[in-house]
Amino acid sequence: MIVVMNHNATKEQVQAVLKRLDKEGFQVHISQGESRTIIGVIGHNTKDLLPKLALEALPGVDRVVPILQPYKLAGREFKPEDSVYRIANLEIGSKTIQIAAGPCAVESREQILEVALAVKEAGATILRGGAYKPRTSPYSFQGLEEKGLKLLAEAKEKTGLAIVTEATDTSNLKIVAEYADIIQIGARNMQNFYLLKEAGKLNKPILLKRGGNATIEEWLLAAEYIMSGGNYQVILCERGIRTFETATRNTLDLSAIPLLKQLSHLPVFADPSHGTGNWKLVPAMSRAAIAAGADGLLVEVHPQPSEALSDGPQSLTPENFKKMMKELKEIAAVLGRKVGNSNG
Amino acid sequence: MIVVMNHNATKEQVQAVLKRLDKEGFQVHISQGESRTIIGVIGHNTKDLLPKLALEALPGVDRVVPILQPYKLAGREFKPEDSVYRIANLEIGSKTIQIAAGPCAVESREQILEVALAVKEAGATILRGGAYKPRTSPYSFQGLEEKGLKLLAEAKEKTGLAIVTEATDTSNLKIVAEYADIIQIGARNMQNFYLLKEAGKLNKPILLKRGGNATIEEWLLAAEYIMSGGNYQVILCERGIRTFETATRNTLDLSAIPLLKQLSHLPVFADPSHGTGNWKLVPAMSRAAIAAGADGLLVEVHPQPSEALSDGPQSLTPENFKKMMKELKEIAAVLGRKVGNSNG
Amino acid sequence: MIVVMNHNATKEQVQAVLKRLDKEGFQVHISQGESRTIIGVIGHNTKDLLPKLALEALPGVDRVVPILQPYKLAGREFKPEDSVYRIANLEIGSKTIQIAAGPCAVESREQILEVALAVKEAGATILRGGAYKPRTSPYSFQGLEEKGLKLLAEAKEKTGLAIVTEATDTSNLKIVAEYADIIQIGARNMQNFYLLKEAGKLNKPILLKRGGNATIEEWLLAAEYIMSGGNYQVILCERGIRTFETATRNTLDLSAIPLLKQLSHLPVFADPSHGTGNWKLVPAMSRAAIAAGADGLLVEVHPQPSEALSDGPQSLTPENFKKMMKELKEIAAVLGRKVGNSNG
Amino acid sequence: MIVVMNHNATKEQVQAVLKRLDKEGFQVHISQGESRTIIGVIGHNTKDLLPKLALEALPGVDRVVPILQPYKLAGREFKPEDSVYRIANLEIGSKTIQIAAGPCAVESREQILEVALAVKEAGATILRGGAYKPRTSPYSFQGLEEKGLKLLAEAKEKTGLAIVTEATDTSNLKIVAEYADIIQIGARNMQNFYLLKEAGKLNKPILLKRGGNATIEEWLLAAEYIMSGGNYQVILCERGIRTFETATRNTLDLSAIPLLKQLSHLPVFADPSHGTGNWKLVPAMSRAAIAAGADGLLVEVHPQPSEALSDGPQSLTPENFKKMMKELKEIAAVLGRKVGNSNG
Exposed, middle or buried: residue A207 (CB in 10 Å: 0-12, 13-18, 19+)? buried
- Interface check for C52 against chain D (CB to CB < 8 A): the answer is yes
Rounded (5°) CA angle B313-B316-B318: 145
Residues B176, B163 contacting (CB under 8 angstroms): no
Residues A98, A296 contacting (CB under 8 angstroms): yes
What confidence tens digit (pLDDT) does each residue in D133-187 have?
888 888 888 899 999 999 999 999 999 999 999 999 999 999 999 999 999 999 9
User: Which residue in the set A4, A29, A34 is minimally distant from C67, CB to CB?
Assistant: A4
CA distance A292 to A257: 7
CA distance D286 to A288: 9
User: Which residue in the set A259, A281, A334 is minimally distant from D247, CB to CB?
Assistant: A259
Reported pTM? 0.92
Q: Do A68 and C36 touch (CB under 8 A)?
A: yes
Which residues in chain A are contacts of D288 at CB distance < 8 A?
Answer: 254, 288-289, 291-292
Q: Do D258 and A285 touch (CB under 8 A)?
A: yes
Q: Residue B218 — pLDDT band, cuts 50, 70, 90?
A: very high
Q: Which of B78, B213, B310 to mutate to test the interface with A (most CBs of A within 10 A)?
A: B213
Q: Residue C344 — pLDDT band, cuts 50, 70, 90?
A: very low
User: Picking from B1-5, C71-75, D75-79, which range would have the lowest pLDDT averaged per residue?
Assistant: B1-5
Instruction: Please name which of D263, D262, D260, D258 lies closest in space to residue D289, comparing C-alpha atoms.
Output: D258
Chain centroid offset of residue B156 CA: 24
Tell me which chain A residue has its CA closest to the CA of residue B55. Answer: A306
Q: Which of B4, B173, B191, B278 to mutate to test the interface with A (most CBs of A within 10 A)?
A: B191
What confidence tens digit (pLDDT) does each residue in D200-217 have?
999 999 999 999 999 999
Residues D106, D152 contacting (CB under 8 angstroms): yes
Instruction: Please name which of A288, A296, A195, A188 lies closest in space to residue A236, comparing C-alpha atoms.
Output: A296
Determine the pLDDT at residue D6: 85
The dihedral built from the CA positions of residue A132, A135, A138 and A143, taken in this order, carries a sign that is negative
Determine the pLDDT at residue B142: 85
Which H or E run includes B269?
Answer: strand B268-270
Architecture of domain A2-65: 2-Layer Sandwich (3.30)
- Interface check for D275 against chain A (CB to CB < 8 A): the answer is yes
Q: Do A288 and D284 touch (CB under 8 A)?
A: no
Residue D311 has pLDDT above 90, yes or no: no
- The interface predicted TM-score (ipTM) is 0.91
Which residues in chain A are contacts of B65 at CB distance < 8 A?
Answer: none
Q: How many CB atoms lie within 10 A of CB D303?
A: 18
Residue B46 has pLDDT above 70, yes or no: no
Residue A314 has pLDDT above 50, yes or no: yes
The DSSP string of C149-216 is HHHHHHHHHHH--EEEEE--SHHHHHHHHHH-SEEEE-GGGTT-HHHHHHHTTSSS-EEEEPPTT--H
Report the percent of chain B where pLDDT is more than 70. Answer: 96
- Interface check for D287 against chain A (CB to CB < 8 A): the answer is yes
Determine the pLDDT at residue D275: 96
Instruction: Please name which of B243, B335, B344 lies closest in space to residue B295, comparing C-alpha atoms.
Output: B335
Tell me which chain B residue has its CA closest to the CA of residue C331. Answer: B331
Q: Which of the other chains make 3 or more beta carbon contacts under 8 angstroms with chain C?
A: A, B, D
Q: Beta-strand (E) ranges in A226-295?
A: 234-238, 268-270
Task: Give the 3-state secondary structure of residue B159.
Answer: helix
Tell me the HSE value of A253 on the side-chain side, using a 13 A CA sphere: 31
- Interface check for A343 against chain C (CB to CB < 8 A): the answer is no
Tell me the HSE value of C168 on the side-chain side, using a 13 A CA sphere: 18
Alpha helices by DSSP H, listed for B25-169, are 46-49, 109-122, 146-159
- Interface check for B326 against chain C (CB to CB < 8 A): the answer is no
Determine the pLDDT at residue C336: 97
- Interface check for D248 against chain A (CB to CB < 8 A): the answer is yes
CA distance B268 to A290: 46
The answer for residues whose C-beta is within 8 angstroms of residue A83's C-beta and 6 or more apart is A93, A232, A233, A265, A266, A267
Instruction: Please name which of C273, C283, C281, C293 lies closest in space to residue C323, comparing C-alpha atoms.
Output: C283
What's the whole-number mean pLDDT along residues B145-168?
97
Which H or E run includes A29?
Answer: strand A27-32
Q: Residue B285 — pLDDT band, cuts 50, 70, 90?
A: very high
Q: Do D215 and A245 touch (CB under 8 A)?
A: yes
CA distance A284 to A73: 34
Q: Which amino acid makes up residue D269?
A: F
Q: Which of B239, B255, B282 to mutate to test the interface with C (most CBs of C within 10 A)?
A: B255
Instruction: Please name which of A49, A60, A52 lies closest in space to residue A3, comparing C-alpha atoms.
Output: A60
Q: What are phi and psi of C178, to 5 degrees?
A: -65, -35
Q: Residue A344 — pLDDT band, cuts 50, 70, 90?
A: very low
Phi-psi region of B154 (alpha: psi -120 to 50; beta: other; left: phi over 0): alpha
Determine the pLDDT at residue D344: 39
CA distance C58 to A194: 42
Q: Do D51 and C139 touch (CB under 8 A)?
A: yes
Q: Which amino acid makes up residue A186?
A: G
Residues A99, A299 contacting (CB under 8 angstroms): yes
The answer for residues whose C-beta is within 8 angstroms of residue D237's C-beta and 6 or more apart is D184, D207, D208, D209, D210, D268, D269, D270, D271, D298
- Interface check for D290 against chain C (CB to CB < 8 A): the answer is no
Residues D41, D28 contacting (CB under 8 angstroms): yes
The dihedral built from the CA positions of residue B232, B238, B243 and B248, taken in this order, carries a sign that is negative
Q: Which of B1, B21, B38 to mutate to test the interface with D (most CBs of D within 10 A)?
A: B38
- Min Cα–Cα distance to chain D from A179, Å: 34
User: Picking from A54-68, A74-88, C36-50, which range would have the lowest pLDDT averaged per residue?
Assistant: C36-50
Residue D235 has pLDDT above 60, yes or no: yes
The DSSP string of D120-182 is HHHT--EEE-BSS---SSTTS----THHHHHHHHHHHHHH--EEEEE--SHHHHHHHHHH-SE
Residues B269, B90 contacting (CB under 8 angstroms): no
Q: Which of the other chains make 3 or more beta carbon contacts under 8 angstroms with chain B?
A: A, C, D
Residues B234, B227 contacting (CB under 8 angstroms): yes
Q: Do D279 and C308 touch (CB under 8 A)?
A: no
Instruction: Please name which of B211, D251, B238 lies closest in space to residue C252, comparing C-alpha atoms.
Output: B238
Instruction: Please name which of C85, C75, C79, C81 lies closest in space to residue C295, comparing C-alpha atoms.
Output: C85
Q: Which amino acid makes up residue A114?
A: E
- Interface check for C70 against chain D (CB to CB < 8 A): the answer is yes
The DSSP string of B188-205 is GGTT-HHHHHHHTTSSS-
CA distance D144 to D86: 29
* Count of all residues that appear for chain B in the document: 344
CA distance B264 to B269: 13
Q: Do A284 and D252 touch (CB under 8 A)?
A: no
Determine the pLDDT at residue D49: 58
User: Which residue in the set A215, A241, A291 is minimally distant from D331, CB to CB?
Assistant: A291
What confidence tens digit (pLDDT) does each residue in A246-296 have?
999 999 999 999 999 999 999 999 999 999 999 999 999 999 999 999 999
Q: What is the CATH number of domain A85-339?
A: 3.20.20.70
CA distance B47 to B42: 10
What confidence tens digit (pLDDT) does each residue in B82-123 have?
999 999 789 999 999 999 999 999 999 999 999 999 999 999
Q: Residue C56 — pLDDT band, cuts 50, 70, 90?
A: confident
* Count of all residues that appear for chain A in the document: 344
- Interface check for C138 against chain D (CB to CB < 8 A): the answer is yes
Task: Give the 3-state secondary structure of residue C142.
Answer: coil
How would you list the strands of the sheet with B61-65, edge to edge?
B27-32, B37-42, B2-5, B61-65
Residue A313 has pLDDT above 70, yes or no: yes
User: Which residue in the set C245, C253, C278 is minimally distant from B215, CB to CB?
Assistant: C245
What confidence tens digit (pLDDT) does each residue in C163-178 have?
999 999 999 999 999 9
Q: Which of the other chains make 3 or more beta carbon contacts under 8 angstroms with chain D?
A: A, B, C
Instruction: Please name which of A103, A107, A193 lies closest in space to residue A142, comparing C-alpha atoms.
Output: A107
Q: Which amino acid makes up residue B288?
A: A
Q: Residue C343 — pLDDT band, cuts 50, 70, 90?
A: very low
SS3 helix, strand, coil % of chain B, rounded to 5? Answer: 40, 20, 40
Residues D314, D282 contacting (CB under 8 angstroms): yes
Segments making up each domain of chain B, as ranges: 2-65, 85-339
